[in-house]
């Protein structure tokens, strides 16, 4: 075999491949986003259109909806690769497992987190969030959604070999999402009531760094166990 | 302190005894299940041992 | 340390040693809890503010301590099992989960029962109760994952990863819930630890120690059973079974005659 490709080359190749594959199944990208929009729409319908109430609830509603839609799209991260056996090949490939995981996580975020970021301001307007709060919402989503993808990767890696992993996955992952929810919604809430959101956002950043340094290893170990 | 006072717990009887009752029930159940499982496993292995011996 | 770990990790050695320890630990557990109950229920004064409802503390707080302690022990055992491939550690982690979940459940119920007279509601989103609720979710997720795999080895390894990730998260969850709580409504159950009187501290510590030992007792019982079940076909279990069946065969014959 020729020399192993550099880590970044491997990363780039993997991401390109996954993006291409995902673009062939556009519904898989769109469905979680439509879900996000529908869930947010349900709240005014359930609670009544009173602007003050919606404004008060908006941070929590948007963040919970983001959490759920990120979770819905998680399964796609390893599932098809597991089914057709290419996951096994990827684990045997010369690059370290965590590179594979990071590539998968990045792709997941590009396809679920980033579009969410683009949609969120629109939905925030529906819920009468102030412009300042929308800026903070975007910042918190930008810092928080990668954490969701990273922690989610561990959950999917653990359940990928199971026939009915879907509900189990949410059981495993949602409790671990709680700190992100608290800090994300807290940041927007603070901004909406005219307070500084810096502390919340820095904690979100710390969570991102922590999960970035630990989650790929855990997910890699979990993948090896599942595929073995 | 007489026994009526003791069970009354200064008006908090329901809460205090409810707490102790739930804790006792859950912990006793834990011990009972562990014990039952142990006996079941012991019975299974002794039975198969006896079977082996009678076959031999 | 290494020799010891592997020696203790051998199922047969563990079974024999734990069989000798178990009666003592069990006896100490019963003794500590009985003395703790006596002091807590009879011999300690009622709190000047919370009156007799403060007695709930003697089970609520030890359960809460245990629930977190057991999660950490579980994660540590799971990590040992994962890294050094020690079967006993895998088993100890697996059987700890339901015990820990039980203590978490007790913490939640007693917290709720304590909250009713103190706050006037059955449930308050107070920091400790909320973290305990999330801890219960973590336990349930662990148990669910453990039972989702058919192969025991894979189950142990996969749930070990989850337990370790959970253990890293427990402090993060705890502090973020506390942060969230102070922003919304700062109030908490319990007697201020600085003002706690010795007559209340003693039963609290006795109960805490008693609950810890109860966990050890349950852990040993369940681990021993699992060891027997998994090692069913090994020589030492066969020997043990022969000895047991020889001893009890006369009773067994009698009982089977009665059944007929």
C1-40 pLDDT, tens per residue?
A: 566 666 667 888 888 888 889 999 999 999 999 998 888 8
Tell me how far CA of residue B43 lies from CA of B36, C128, C229, in angstroms.
10, 43, 11
Q: What's the confidence (pLDDT) of residue C2?
A: 63
Q: Give the Cα separation of C252 and C158 in Å (integer).
A: 42
Nearest to B15 among C116, C217, C241 (CB): C116
Model confidence at C195, pLDDT cuts 50, 70, 90, reads low
CA-based nearest residue in chain C for residue B41: C229
Model confidence at C86, pLDDT cuts 50, 70, 90, reads confident
Written as six digits, the tokens of B6 are 């003791």
Q: What's the confidence (pLDDT) of residue C232?
A: 82
Model confidence at C239, pLDDT cuts 50, 70, 90, reads confident
Number of neighbours of residue A120 by Cβ within 10 angstroms: 25
Q: Write the CATH number for C178.
A: 1.20.120
Q: Judge residue C217's burial from the number of C-beta atoms within 10 Å of its C-beta, 0-12 exposed, 13-18 middle, 19 or more buried.
A: buried
Written as six digits, the tokens of A19 are 């993006």
In a domain, C130, yes or no: yes
Q: What's the confidence (pLDDT) of residue C260?
A: 41
In a domain, B2, yes or no: no
Q: What's the confidence (pLDDT) of residue C259?
A: 46
C56 DSSP 8-state letter: G
Distance from CA of B54 to the nearest CA of C (A): 11
pLDDT tens digits along A157-210: 999 888 777 889 999 999 999 999 999 999 999 888 888 888 899 999 999 999
Q: B: neighbours with 3+ CB pairs under 8 Å? A: C
In a domain, B52, yes or no: yes
In a domain, B48, yes or no: yes
In a domain, B38, yes or no: yes
Is residue C56 pLDDT above 70, yes or no? yes
Number of neighbours of residue C19 by Cβ within 10 angstroms: 11
pLDDT tens digits along A127-165: 989 888 999 999 999 999 999 999 999 999 999 888 777
A216 at interface of C, judged by CB pairs closer than 8 A: no
Number of domains in chain C: 1
In a domain, A2, yes or no: no
Number of domains in chain A: 1
The string of DSSP codes covering A155-195 is: HHHHHTTSTT-HHHHHHHHHHHHHHHHHHHHHHHHHHHTT-
Model confidence at C189, pLDDT cuts 50, 70, 90, reads low
In a domain, A189, yes or no: yes
Domain boundaries, position A157 = 7-227
In a domain, C243, yes or no: no
Selected for mutation to probe chain C from B30, B36, B43, B47 (highest C CB count within 10 Å) is B30
In a domain, C247, yes or no: no
Inspect the structure and tell me whether chains C and A have 3 or more CB pairs less than 8 Å apart. Answer: yes
CB contact under 8 Å between B50 and C249, yes or no, is yes
In a domain, B9, yes or no: no
Distance from CA of B23 to the nearest CA of C (A): 6
In a domain, C30, yes or no: yes
Entry pTM: 0.88
In a domain, A196, yes or no: yes
Mean pLDDT, to the nearest integer, of A9-16?
Answer: 83
Domain boundaries, position B43 = 22-56
pLDDT tens digits along C60-70: 999 999 999 99
The complex's ipTM works out to 0.88
What is the share, in percent, of chain A residues with pLDDT greater than 70?
98
Domain boundaries, position C44 = 11-230
Model confidence at A124, pLDDT cuts 50, 70, 90, reads very high
């Amino acid at each position: 075999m020729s020399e192993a490709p550099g880590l970044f080359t491997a990363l780039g190749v993997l991401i390109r491949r996954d993006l291409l594959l995902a673009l062939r199944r556009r519904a898989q990208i769109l469905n979680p986003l439509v879900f996000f929009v529908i869930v947010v729409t349900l709240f005014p319908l359930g609670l009544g259109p009173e602007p003050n109430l919606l404004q008060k609830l908006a941070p929590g509603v948007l963040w919970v909806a983001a959490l759920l839609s990120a979770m819905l799209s998680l399964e796609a991260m390893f599932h098809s690769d597991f089914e057709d056996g290419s996951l096994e090949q990827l684990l045997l490939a010369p690059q370290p497992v965590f590179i594979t995981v990071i590539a998968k996580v990045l792709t997941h975020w590009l396809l679920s987190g980033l579009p969410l970021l683009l949609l969120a301001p629109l939905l925030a307007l529906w819920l009468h969030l102030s412009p300042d709060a929308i800026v903070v919402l975007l910042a918190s989503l930008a810092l928080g959604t990668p954490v969701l993808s990273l922690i989610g990767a561990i959950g999917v890696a653990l359940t990928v070999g199971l026939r009915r992993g879907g509900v189990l996955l949410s059981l495993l992952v949602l409790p671990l999402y709680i700190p992100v929810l608290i800090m994300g919604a807290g940041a927007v809430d603070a901004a909406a009531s005219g307070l500084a959101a810096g502390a919340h956002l820095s904690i979100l950043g710390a969570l991102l760094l922590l999960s970035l340094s630990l989650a790929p290893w855990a997910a890699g170990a979990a993948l090896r166990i599942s595929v073995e | 302190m007489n026994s009526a006072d003791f069970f009354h717990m200064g008006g908090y009887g329901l809460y205090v005894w409810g707490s102790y009752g739930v804790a006792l029930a859950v912990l006793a159940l834990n011990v009972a299940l562990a014990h039952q499982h142990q006996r079941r496993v012991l019975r299974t292995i002794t039975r198969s041992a006896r079977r082996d011996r009678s076959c031999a | 340390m290494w020799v010891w770990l592997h020696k203790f990790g051998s199922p047969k050695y563990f079974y024999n040693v734990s069989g000798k320890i178990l009666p003592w630990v069990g006896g100490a557990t019963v003794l500590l809890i009985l003395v703790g109950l006596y002091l807590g229920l009879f011999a300690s004064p009622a709190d000047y503010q919370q009156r007799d409802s403060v007695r709930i503390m003697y089970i609520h707080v030890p359960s809460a301590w245990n629930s977190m302690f057991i999660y950490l022990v579980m994660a540590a055992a799971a990590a040992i099992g994962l890294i050094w491939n020690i079967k006993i550690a895998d088993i100890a982690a697996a059987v700890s989960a339901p015990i820990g979940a039980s203590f978490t459940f007790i913490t939640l119920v007693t917290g709720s029962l304590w909250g009713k007279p103190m706050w006037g509601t059955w449930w308050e989103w107070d920091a400790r109760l909320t973290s305990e609720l999330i801890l219960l979710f973590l336990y349930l997720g662990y148990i669910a994952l453990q039972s989702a795999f058919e192969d025991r080895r894979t189950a142990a390894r996969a749930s070990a990863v989850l337990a370790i990730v959970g253990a890293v998260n427990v402090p993060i969850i705890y502090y973020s819930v506390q942060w969230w709580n102070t922003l919304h409504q700062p109030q908490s159950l319990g007697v201020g630890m600085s003002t706690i009187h010795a007559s209340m501290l003693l039963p609290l510590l006795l109960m805490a120690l008693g609950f810890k030992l109860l966990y050890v007792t349950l852990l040993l019982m369940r681990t021993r059973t699992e060891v027997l079940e998994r090692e069913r076909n090994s020589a030492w279990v066969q020997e043990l079974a022969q000895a047991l069946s020889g001893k009890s065969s006369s009773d067994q014959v009698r009982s089977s005659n009665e059944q007929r």
